[in-house]
């Protein structure tokens, strides 16, 4: 192999690696979520109902769920407001329990969330 061919081959390999890195990072950004986001309040009885149901049915072993408490965490509360706004829900309609799916669909209330999770995990 001559010097020009070897140099061209090295350049092609480097370009290929860089393209794979860019493509991989782009596909990660385009993903909606790695899992579900469950917003709850520590003293919320409906939230407790969902949490107990998830525990009894081992839901977190079957699907990734990120839990975010909103009563005592202003950052999580702001994030919940933003998620609700993105779903077309006004401030007056925001409450917990609240679930955001991988497809960025918003679900509110224990019955709606439990029914979604039942279907998601095949119960």
CA-wise closest residue to 114 among 97, 91, 93: 97
In angstroms, rounded to a whole number, what is the distance separating the alpha carbons of residues 91 and 78? 11
In angstroms, the CA 116 to CA 46 distance is 15
Task: Collect all residues with Cβ–Cβ distance below 8 Å to 65 and sequence separation of at least 6.
Answer: 35, 36, 37, 38, 54, 59
Higher pLDDT, 67 or 3: 67
Instruction: Give the C-alpha separation, 52 to 14, whole Å.
Output: 52
Query: What is the pLDDT at residue 15?
Result: 76
Q: 29 falls in which pLDDT band (50, 70, 90)?
A: very low
Coil, strand or helix at 52 = helix
Domain 36-121: CATH superfamily is: Glutaredoxin (3.40.30.10)
- Residue with more model confidence, 12 or 81: 81
Global pTM reads: 0.72
Convert the pLDDT of each residue in 82-123 to its tens digit: 999 999 998 888 999 999 999 989 999 999 999 999 999 998
Of 10 and 72, more confident: 72
The answer on pLDDT for 30 being more than 50 is: no
pLDDT at 36 over 90: yes
**DSSP H or E stretch at residue 123:** none
Q: Are 102 and 120 in contact (CB under 8 A)?
A: no
């Amino acid at each position: 192999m001559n010097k020009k061919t070897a140099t061209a081959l090295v350049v092609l390999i480097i370009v290929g690696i860089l393209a794979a890195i860019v493509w991989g990072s782009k596909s990660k950004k385009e993903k909606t979520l790695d899992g579900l986001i469950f917003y709850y309040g520590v003293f919320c009885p409906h939230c407790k109902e969902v949490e107990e149901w998830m525990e009894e049915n081992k839901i977190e072993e079957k699907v990734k769920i990120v839990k975010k408490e909103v009563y005592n965490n202003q950052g999580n509360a702001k994030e919940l407001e933003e998620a609700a706004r993105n779903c077309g829900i006004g401030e007056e309609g925001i409450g917990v329990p609240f679930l955001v799916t991988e497809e960025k669909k918003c679900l509110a209330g224990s019955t709606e969330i439990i029914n979604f999770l039942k279907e998601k995990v095949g119960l």
